[in-house]
Structures are given as structure tokens and as C-alpha cells.
Amino acid sequence: MPVCEILSVGTELLLGEILNTNAQFLSVELADLGISVLRQSTVGDNPRRLASAVKEALERSDILITTGGLGPTADDITKEVCCETLGVKLKTDAEILKQLEDYFLNRGTSMPESNKKQALVPESGTIFPNKNGTAPGFALEKDGKCIIMLPGPPREIRPMFLEYVKPFLSKHSDGIIITHTVRTFGIGESAMAELAGNYLSGDNPTVAPYAKDGEAMLRIGARGKTRAEAEALCAPVLKELLEVLGDFVYGVDSQSLQESVVNLLIQKNLTIAIAESCTGGYVAKRITDIPGASKVFQCGVVTYSDEMKKIILGVSSEVLEKHGAISEQTALEMAHGVRLLGKADIGIGITGIAGPGGGTADKPVGLSFIALSDSSSRIVEKVEVLRKSDREYNRFYTASKALDMLRRYAQEFNESRKSENNNERRHN
Amino acid sequence: MPVCEILSVGTELLLGEILNTNAQFLSVELADLGISVLRQSTVGDNPRRLASAVKEALERSDILITTGGLGPTADDITKEVCCETLGVKLKTDAEILKQLEDYFLNRGTSMPESNKKQALVPESGTIFPNKNGTAPGFALEKDGKCIIMLPGPPREIRPMFLEYVKPFLSKHSDGIIITHTVRTFGIGESAMAELAGNYLSGDNPTVAPYAKDGEAMLRIGARGKTRAEAEALCAPVLKELLEVLGDFVYGVDSQSLQESVVNLLIQKNLTIAIAESCTGGYVAKRITDIPGASKVFQCGVVTYSDEMKKIILGVSSEVLEKHGAISEQTALEMAHGVRLLGKADIGIGITGIAGPGGGTADKPVGLSFIALSDSSSRIVEKVEVLRKSDREYNRFYTASKALDMLRRYAQEFNESRKSENNNERRHN
């Protein structure tokens, strides 16, 4: 199996100004290709130190992947240093120069002189186009070693890797590893691991639990000579795990909670309207992240103040005075009000305290109420987030709970009920 | 100035199962102490490779900080390998053994045999207590070199570093590095770098450009014996750069675009209401990310369909029919409508095509119109995002443009105009 190292270049990484997500992204992708990552390193924008890191890596490994330092400014030196290390010259590529000039023309400006540097390419090697920025990527191969140079911004490196670099690297891989991820919501990592039981000690496929953003996942990986062989090893284990985990599972592989919700709503022909207080538009944002959400998403309303809850959503003064804005009753009236406003099948109302201020002994930071209303029923759930000091997490997790409530509703919904609802709606 | 390296230990990092947030955390803290980080590396749980990474790091640097590999299982080897490299023996520490036994007793179980390993400490050196887990940290000093071993879990390493390691390391620091980041919007990285001109070649302070999420930044770093000395070196350069970059600058240091907007609105005593189509709540979400946004945020509305634009925002059928939903006129009516609905000083209306579908030759994916309306004036801007295939970026960048429009409006707004507005509003 070929071995690989990842070398990230950028003083901003050594200063901690940027979190290195590229190394993780590449590691996952390389594991998928059956390429072992021996080491990840980060050095600053310093030619001497970069050169020695490149040399050391090539002594240990077959493949070196660099990220960053391909930009137009003087401290972008990765291409120059890597080419010098392998003894490859740089030349100006007329086509890339033209693309760069067009890129700036399209933006209504002329190309700054410094960007010309980005049209310099190794005399020999492979060029990976950059559809999301100005710096192309490169592969240099010499004496059995390969250096792949990729840009730093995650929005550029990710599509470039998936579209061009992954197929390029597959020739270095002598088998295939496939992985599937089972995604759950509403169960903790250790409880999920207990349910997965014996599968966790398997060798091929391997099954590993992990947790991310308040969700617990199982990663199933199988090795085979061919994709079909690896998939065949995975299939029975995946099937049994899905049964064992039941309705905690919201999706398999890259599907997000919001994608699963939008797909289910489309499938069941249901429309939604969302009223948010503490989540401030996060649920609407996540639902509309998904292309095609317009088929199911009628409207979203963000109301913080009591006044706006009354004016836009028709929440009653009585409920607000008697129970307060953070209450089951207010959540229910928000859900009901937004459903009518948006002429939707389902209304969601969310009210709570995102923090850091605003909490009381009775109603602490992290508390929220999420309500779901359709034409004939209503559900309300109390949610308490445990990482109280983290406003972003509070809002994200509360939004996830609302999405999960929608998912479970849509999953159980059957079409005959929809036509009843429609009849009823017509009578309203 | 002492130089340092960070070495993270764990096969799960090389597989990409975990994002390495420890390296970033430590880098920020070390910069604060005036300790330069030369390199960050990650190796797996392999004794031979770990030993060679430790040796290499000590050849280059004065201080090595390791994270991870201090746990109770057989693949936790950091302590053993580091001690062997420096020729320091391990012994069982009776007090730590007692603490470990108590830790498990408190959880109602007895200590697993394997945890005894965690009571092994270097014969010489410093022990850092772990208040959030079972693995203490260590510092070993020998022949002018220092190895600091810390646990892997972020919730253990962070408090340990801040309470014990930072004071321990301050004796190694013979100065301080401070950094400031100038954040801009509306100008590209290379154009910004050209404006910054000569400052980019300075040595102390250093000035470096970088780009992130459609924004361009300048990082200014200065070294001094004291914080005051370093700040004094930074101050004139920072001042001149702020002048040169003018109103492209939205903030300095960690402030985000939305934070800058919310602060300005609070300062100018202005309230806002946001109507979104293609951004689907992203602007509302980003504004309400900021604690205290409730002081200025009246309401947000997300309307995709023509019908909802009419019902909730009062957009006219004539405008929708004549100009279409993606038009200057619709954006303006959305801004006007949501301002009235939310009884706000300023209304923002955003309509566009986030993609991947829905584009035409006339109105391509990535096109949007952003309007701002107050009681006496209106602005509308056409935005074309160039990374057409990236829905997330389209939505993020369009939301950024709307935030930037709000920022520029609020920056130029003066209080006398507000009282006029208020008078007018009362007459409505």
C-alpha cells in the first residue's frame, strides 16, 4: 500500500488563526482510496523550512500532498519550493494566463500584476483546474515520488480533490476501501456503540462510532480488490446495523439531517412553515441549504420580540402574559400561526434562550420549546442543551431537534392522512 | 525567542476521524506567550515513528508539546516514548494512583487494571493535574530541551494548559508577539495587497495578506519585550493601513461582518427587518449569531414563492408579473414591505438564484438583487457571484453583501437623520 504525507503551508496555521480542516478532509479521502497517511505536518511561509519539510517527507513517503501557498502574493512559495526540490522548472502557461485574465474581466477589473505568478506551471506534470478560485493545483512525478500541490481555501481544495485529484491518485492504490456512514440523531455515541455491539470488533468490514455536532455516527469500512467485493462485505453489516438502530437513523452517507427532512417532505407531498425565535433563522437556513427546498418550504419567520410574535404570527397577549415567551404555549401558538400564514401542511414554532445572557433559574440558557402543528394535531417538546455557554451550539442543536421532529413526523405520515388534512383545510 | 513544535499523536487523526483542534488552540496560546511555533505535526500510535518525530522536533526546537497518547490502553505510548528519548525513567506515583482509584470510586466502579499505567510518571519533571480526566500531563527538562506531554481530549487539555502549563511556560518566554487582523469586504486579496504595498515587506511588524470566505484580511504581527512595546510597534502601521484601505475595512481582530453590523446598529440606535428569498434565512441567522442582536433585529421573513411575497410582504402582482421575482423592483418592494411589517428603521430585501438549478441566460445562477429601504430612501444593488456551482458559497456571499450594505449604511448614518426618520414614521 502506498504511503502518503500531508503538508499544510501557512504562517496563519502556525499562529492558530485558521483551523486546519484540509488535513482532515484529505485524510478521510485518502483512507477511502486505500492510501495510508503516515504524517500530517504544518510549516509557515518560510522557503528554507518548507524545503526541508518537503525533503524529509519524500524520504519517508511515496506521495506528498501540500495545501496552501499557491496564491498570488510574495509569501506564496509552495510551487517554487516543490519544483526546486524535485529539480523541475516553471514556465508561464498561456491558457491559464488567459483564464486568469478572463476571471478578472468577468469581475469588471483588470488582473493585478501579481496574479501573473499564478500562471506559472511546472514544465512537466499534471495541472488540476480550479473552478472556485485562481490557483490551479499540480502533480509532479519524478523518481517514483509524487508531489501534489493544492490550494489552501477549503472551498477550492475540496471540489478540486474530488473531481481531479482522486481519479489521478486511484492509480497509486492497489485495492479499494469503501466506507458508509450511518447517521443518527437522538442517541448518544456510547449508547449507539452498545447497540452496535459485536460489529465494533470486526476486521473487514470495520465499524467505528464517532460523534459530531450533537449527532452520533457509525463508520463502516470494507477493503476489497474491487468496489463490488468491498460493497458485498459491507452490505449485510450495514443492513443489520440499520435494523438495530431503528428510527434513530436519519440517513446513510453524506446526507444531512436537513436533506433527509426535505427529501421526506417532497416524497410525502407535505409543505412546511417555520417560526423561529432563539434559532433566529437557523432552521430556515438549513432547510433552504438543500436544492429543491422550494417545493416544500412555504415561509419562515424570525420573531424575537413579543410584539412581532403577536403581529406576524398572531400569538395571543394572554399566552405571552400568562406563560411567557419561552413556554410550550407560545411555541404552539407560533407553530399554529405560521402554518396559517404560510398556508402550509405543517407549522413549526421554536422559542428558547440561546444565551449567553437571558437565562433565569426557572428558564436557563439552553432551554427551548419546539412545537409542531398540523391541521388536526399538535406536538410540543422541551429541549435542554447541556453546553450552556456555547451560543452557536445551543442554536445549532435546537435547530437539529426541530429538524428531527419534522423528520419523525414525515416518516410516520401516510398519504391517506394527507387527503383528510386537505379536506379539512378546505373546510376551514 | 524560544521556538516550539506541536506534535499530535493518534491514528484517528491520520484517518481523519477527528479534527485537530488542539494544534490551533495551543498555537494561539503560544503566540500569546511570545513562543514561536515552527511546526505542527501529527503521527499515529506507532512507537518507532513517534520516537523519530520526537527526536527530529528536539533537533529543531527548544520546546516540544505533545497531545494525546496518555490514556490507559496499549496504544497509548507517548509518555513511554518521550521518556525513553530523553533517557528518563518512569515510576509509579502513589498519589496519582490514589486519585485514579478515587476517580473510579466516585463513579461507582473500581479502577480497571489498565488504568494503573496512568499513575506512571517520569522520575524527574513536573506533573500537571488533570481535573477533567484520568491522564495527568508532564513536563520533562533536560540539556536545554523541554518536552511537555498533554492529554488529547480538548476538554482536558484546554483547562490544563490554561491553569498549569501556561504559567510553567512563561519562564521560557523572553518577549511577546501580538497580532492584529484587519478585515475587509468588497476588495480582492491581491488588490488589497497592492494597496498595502510596502508594509508587506516589513520585518517587525510583519504584514501578511490572506483570504477567507470571500473576505480579504491583513495580519499584522509585532514582537517586543513587553506587550506595550509590541503594541507600540504595531500601532502606526495599523493606523496607516486602516487609512489606506478606507471603507473596505469592516473590523479589526476577531470581529465578524455580522458583529460589526450589529454593533454599528446598536451604536446608531437603528432597527432592521430582513426579507430573504435565495439566502433563505442566512442573513437573519448570521445577525442573530451575535448576542444582543435582539436590540436591533425586529423580524426576519423567508419567502420563496410569489404568493408568500405578496401575502406577507405586500409585494405587488404588477411588479412580479412585469419584472419577475428576481428583479430590482421585487427586492425593493420586499425591503419596503418587511420594514413596515417589522416597524423597523431599515428593511432589507434579497432575491436571487442560489442554484444549482433555476438559472437562465438572462438571470443566471449566482445573480441576486439586494435592496435597502428606510423611510426616505432606497438603494438596490445587483450581485453576481462567480462560483456558480457552489450553492453554499452563493448564499453565504450574497448574505455577506447584504450585511456589508447594512454596515455601510449604518456607518454613514448620523443621528440627526434618525430623528427625521422618526418624525416621518410617526406621521405614517
Interval A359-373: pLDDT, tens = 888 898 889 999 999
Residue of B nearest to A394 (CA): B289
CA A291-A292-A298 angle, 5° bins: 120
Residue B341, min C-alpha distance to chain A (Å) = 8
Out of A12-16, A44-48, A359-363, B419-423, least confident range: B419-423
Hey, where are the domains in chain A? 3-172, 176-252, 257-427
Decide if pLDDT at A173 tops 80.
no
Does B356 reach chain A within 8 Å, measured CB to CB?
A: yes
pLDDT, mean over chain A: 90
DSSP for A178-218 reads EEEEEEESSS-HHHHHHHHGGGGG-SSSEEEEEEETTEEEE
Q: Give the per-residue pLDDT at B314.
A: 97
Q: Given the C-alpha cell 404555549, which residue does it identify?
A: A329
* Residue B419 burial class via C-beta count within 10 angstroms: exposed 0-12, middle 13-18, buried 19 and up: exposed
Residue from the list A42, A288, A297 with its beta carbon closest to the beta carbon of B40:
A42
Residues 187-226 of chain A with CB under 8 A from chain B are 208, 210, 219
Q: Give the per-residue pLDDT at A427.
A: 43
Does A108 reach chain B within 8 Å, measured CB to CB?
A: no
Cα gap A179→A204, rounded to integer Å: 11
Residue from the list B27, B274, B301 with its beta carbon closest to the beta carbon of A16:
B27
Q: Which of A17-21, A311-315, A385-389, B27-31 has the highest mean pLDDT?
A: A311-315
Q: Given the C-alpha cell 445587483, which residue does it identify?
A: B382
Does A281 reach chain B within 8 Å, measured CB to CB?
A: yes
Q: Give the per-residue pLDDT at B425.
A: 46
Q: Give the per-residue pLDDT at A308.
A: 96
Residue of A nearest to B40 (CA): A42
Cα gap A221→A230, rounded to integer Å: 8
* Position A392 confidence tier, pLDDT thresholds 50, 70, 90: confident
Cα gap B233→A16, rounded to integer Å: 22
Cα gap A129→A336, rounded to integer Å: 50
Residue B28, min C-alpha distance to chain A (Å) = 5
Q: Give the per-residue pLDDT at A426.
A: 42
Q: Give the per-residue pLDDT at A110.
A: 84
Q: Contact, B297 vs B287, CB < 8 A?
A: yes
Residue of B nearest to A292 (CA): B357
Quick one: fold of A176-252? Alpha-Beta Plaits (3.30.70)
Residue among B291, B270, B274 at smallest CA distance from B372:
B274
Give me the residues paired with residue A210 across strands: A217
Site from B14, B35, B52 to mutate, A interface, most A CB atoms within 10 angstroms:
B14
* Residue A365 burial class via C-beta count within 10 angstroms: exposed 0-12, middle 13-18, buried 19 and up: buried
* Position A421 confidence tier, pLDDT thresholds 50, 70, 90: low
Contact (CB<8Å) A112/B191: yes
Decide if pLDDT at A398 tops 80.
yes
Residue among A427, A301, A384 at smallest CA distance from A310:
A301
Cα-to-chain-centroid distance, residue A409: 24
DSSP state of A165: I
CATH superfamily placement of domain A257-427? CinA-like (3.90.950.20)
Residue from the list B38, B191, B280 with its beta carbon closest to the beta carbon of A288:
B280
Decide if pLDDT at A417 tops 70.
no
Residue from the list A23, A109, A299 with its beta carbon closest to the beta carbon of B20:
A23
Q: Contact, B79 vs B90, CB < 8 A?
A: yes
Q: Given the C-alpha cell 453554499, which residue does it identify?
A: B392
Q: Give the per-residue pLDDT at B284.
A: 98
Which residues of chain B have a pLDDT value below 70? 174, 387-388, 415-428
Q: Give the per-residue pLDDT at B280.
A: 96
Q: CA-CA-CA-CA torsion for A39, A45, A50, A51, nearest 10 degrees?
A: 160
Cα gap B156→B21, rounded to integer Å: 13
Contact (CB<8Å) B299/A301: yes
Helix, strand, coil fractions of chain B, as percent rounded to 5: 45, 25, 30
> Looking at residues A315-320, what average pLDDT do you find?
97
Class of B259-427 in CATH: alpha beta
Digit-coded pLDDT (tens) for A69-102? 998 888 899 999 999 999 999 999 998 899 888 8
Task: Extract the C-alpha cell encoding A6.
Answer: 500531508
Domain boundaries B3-172, corresponding CATH code: 3.40.980.10
Cβ atoms within 10 Å, residue B151: 27
Task: Extract the C-alpha cell encoding B103.
Answer: 476517580
Q: Give the per-residue pLDDT at B209.
A: 87
